[in-house]
């Protein structure tokens, strides 16, 4: 669906993408990375909005440039920043965007009402956009990228600035519309839970380089859960006993917690036995399931 080969992008002395190579499959794909990792730069190059310093990116088999009208009609884009006209109604704006994308007026009108219906927008669609709440503005931004029925939709931080309820509604909407319209989704975000909720695959970028490209469920499944422990005095003796039991065990020690890999339920018995032998009071012991948060932090750190 999207292929990047040896892409380098420099802004002066700053390298935003550093020999970046990836082949992105069809489906719902999440691009994760901290601010400044290169996510937005990659998306802009893929959309043909900026050029790479070297290397190339192809989308749906073609490299986008300013003259790529036919391929652009197969692509939708929801930008991060607010860039919608306040003095138009939602309906007027979507019809115009549909026509800009090559639809005739009748088809654009029909598609507008279909999309806004899926977004559960009633009489609000006839109001001026300047009267919309933050959540409504995000919905209209999403709708304008979908109105022409694209094969691929780029979403740049679609839940940015939303309260928790509006965020969950937006993620549910993205999932629903992607399935109804059979649209491939490329979601660029720094919010890990958004990727877990929406995406089949995840790509993690850090310092302009590809760190991970993996199926989300398989990636999480391969990781090991941990047991989080909080103890009282004699914690050094407690840790020593755990290490004696398995000298290859990875024990993570923080100011508040001790964490060891979960192997099976026998691990809990071993912890209790080690605490008793060390005469160390055991305050808390809890199995912590692996999430994208754990994987992401391990990669970017």
Residue 124 has a pLDDT of: 92
Same domain, 211 and 241: no
Structure token digits, residue 195: 């990727």
| pTM score of the predicted model | 0.76
Burial code of 136-163, b = ≥16 C-beta within 10 A, e = fewer?
bbbbbbbbbbbbbbbbbbbbbbbbbebe
Query: What CATH number does residue 274 fall under?
Result: 3.30.70.120
Identify whether residues 214 and 240 lie together within a single domain: no
C-alpha distance from residue 185 to each of 138, 166, 276 (Å): 16, 20, 53
Measured between alpha carbons, how far is residue 129 from residues 120, 175, 237 in Å? 16, 24, 64
Among 205, 220, 235, residue at a domain's last position: 220
Q: Indicate if 240 and 198 belong to the same structural domain.
A: no
Asked if residue 276 and residue 131 are part of one domain, the reply reads no
- Is the domain of 43 the same as that of 164? yes
Let me know whether 266 and 119 are in one domain: no
Instruction: Mention every residue, 6+ apart, whose C-beta is less than 8 A from residue 158.
Output: 78, 138, 141, 142, 170, 174, 187, 189, 194
Task: Give the pLDDT confidence of 166-218 residue by residue, as tens digits.
Answer: 899 899 888 887 777 788 999 998 888 888 888 999 999 998 999 988 888 88
Helix (H, G, I), strand (E, B) or coil at 62: strand
Considering the domain architecture, whether residues 84 and 165 belong to the same structural domain is answered as yes
pLDDT digits (tens, 9 = 90+) for 8-29: 999 999 999 999 999 999 999 9
When divided into structural domains, the chain yields a total of 2
Q: How far is CA 219 from CA 128, 213, 243, 295, 296, in A?
A: 44, 9, 28, 9, 11
Assign 66 a pLDDT band (cuts: 50, 70, 90): low
Q: Which of 195, 220, 245 is the last residue of a domain?
A: 220
Provide the residue range defining the domain that includes 262: 224-300
- Range list of H helices, the chain: 39-46, 69-72, 90-100, 105-118, 134-146, 164-181, 192-198, 216-222, 235-245, 266-277, 292-300
220, 243, 275 - which closes a domain:
220
In this structure, the answer to whether residues 138 and 280 fall within a common structural domain is no
Which among 274, 298, 135, 163 has a CA at the least distance from the CA of 226?
298
């Amino acid at each position: 669906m999207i292929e990047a080969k040896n892409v380098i992008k420099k802004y002066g002395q700053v390298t935003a993408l550093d020999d970046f190579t990836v082949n992105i499959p069809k489906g719902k794909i999440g691009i994760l990375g901290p601010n400044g990792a290169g996510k937005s730069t990659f998306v802009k190059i893929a959309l043909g909005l900026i050029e790479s310093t070297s290397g190339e990116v192809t989308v749906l088999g073609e490299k986008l440039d300013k003259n790529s009208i036919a391929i652009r009609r197969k692509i939708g884009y929801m930008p991060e920043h607010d860039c919608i006209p306040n003095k138009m109604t939602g309906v007027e704006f979507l019809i115009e965007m549909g026509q800009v994308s090559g639809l005739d007026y009748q088809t654009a009108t029909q598609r507008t009402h279909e999309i806004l219906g899926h977004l559960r927008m009633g009489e609000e669609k006839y109001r001026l956009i300047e009267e919309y709440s933050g959540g409504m503005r995000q919905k209209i931004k999403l709708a304008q990228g979908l109105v022409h029925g694209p094969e691929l939709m780029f979403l740049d931080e679609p839940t940015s600035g939303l309260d928790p309820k509006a965020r969950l509604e937006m993620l549910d909407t993205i999932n629903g519309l992607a399935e109804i319209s059979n649209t491939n989704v490329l979601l660029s975000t720094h919010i890990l839970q958004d990727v877990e909720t929406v995406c089949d695959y995840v790509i993690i970028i850090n310092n302009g380089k590809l760190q991970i490209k993996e199926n989300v469920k398989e990636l999480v499944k391969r990781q090991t859960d941990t047991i989080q422990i909080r103890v009282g005095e004699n914690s050094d003796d407690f840790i020593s006993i755990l290490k004696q039991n398995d000298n290859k065990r990875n024990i993570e020690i923080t100011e508040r917690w001790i964490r060891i890999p979960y192997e099976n339920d026998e691990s809990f018995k071993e912890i209790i036995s080690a605490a008793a032998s060390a005469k160390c009071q055991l305050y808390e012991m809890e199995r912590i399931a692996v999430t994208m948060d754990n994987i992401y932090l391990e990669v970017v750190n």
